[in-house]
Chain A
Amino acid sequence: DAKTTQPPSMDCAEGRAANLPCNHSTISGNEYVYWYRQIHSQGPQYIIHGLKNNETNEMASLIITEDRKSSTLILPHATLRDTAVYYCIVRVGHYGGATNKLIFGTGTLLAVQP
């Protein structure tokens, strides 16, 4: 699986959009971009994933560049409860022959300020 690079920390004001970048320049054509977050003392939680099109769900939006070498996770209106470590993970698609394990880096600690 391709390696990802994320800034170690970011701040965001409550109510503003949080934009978390991720570089994955060695991504392969069959690899998806997954985002998870981990709130203190809890297990990681799935947020969103995508292959090449932008994706949106009730939690966030995922913008993937046309060359797929980077992506941005957007939390449109950050709240204090969004303070967490956010992990960007690149992984092959979910199919029977694959382990489907996630390889975590150190992520980005997002601190939402009141």
Chain B
Amino acid sequence: DTGVSQNPRHKITKRGQNVTFRCDPISEHNRLYWYRQTLGQGPEFLTYFQNEAQLEKSRLLSDRFSAERPKGSFSTLEIQRTEQGDSAMYLCASSLLGGQVNTGELFFGEGSRLTVL
């Protein structure tokens, strides 16, 4: 178990470009969450998946944002036509629903930091 892995760790892009982040959750974790965090604030919920189904999306997730988890394993978060306001840390977390030892704990990756120039 290597934990939640996120790539790339850092991304610098110009306004208007598209970017994609990848998240590899802990194996066999059936739930996957995306959060966004700006400086001085706590993480803000964006969306979550149970297996391959996207079950909830925050109002923060504008039409320029799309997330997928095609095979119920890794997930991608794409931002189209980036804006300077998209600059933030994008965090991924996974959890296991069900099982004997199940605290509902979310395991977070180290995040992907986006800077839009």
Contact = CB atoms under 8 A, between A and B. Distances in A.
A94 B104 contact: yes
Nearest to A41: B110
A43 B95 contact: no
Contacts of B102: 94
Contacts of A104: 35, 42-44
Nearest to B56: A99
A44 B110 contact: no
B105 interface: yes
B48 A45 contact: no
Interface in B17-51: 31, 33, 35, 40-45, 48
A50 to B, nearest CB: 11
Nearest to A103: B45
The size bracket of the interface on B is 20 to 34
Given A43-B93, A101-B33, A105-B42, A93 B104 contact: yes
Interface residues of A, number: 24
Contacts of B74: none
A96 B56 CA distance: 14
Interface string A73-109: 0000000000001010001011010011111111100
Given A45-B108, A101-B48, A106 B41 contact: yes
Interface of A: 32, 34, 41-46, 49, 85, 87, 91, 93-94, 96, 99-107
5 contacts: A44-B91, A44-B93, A85-B42, A96-B98, A102-B45
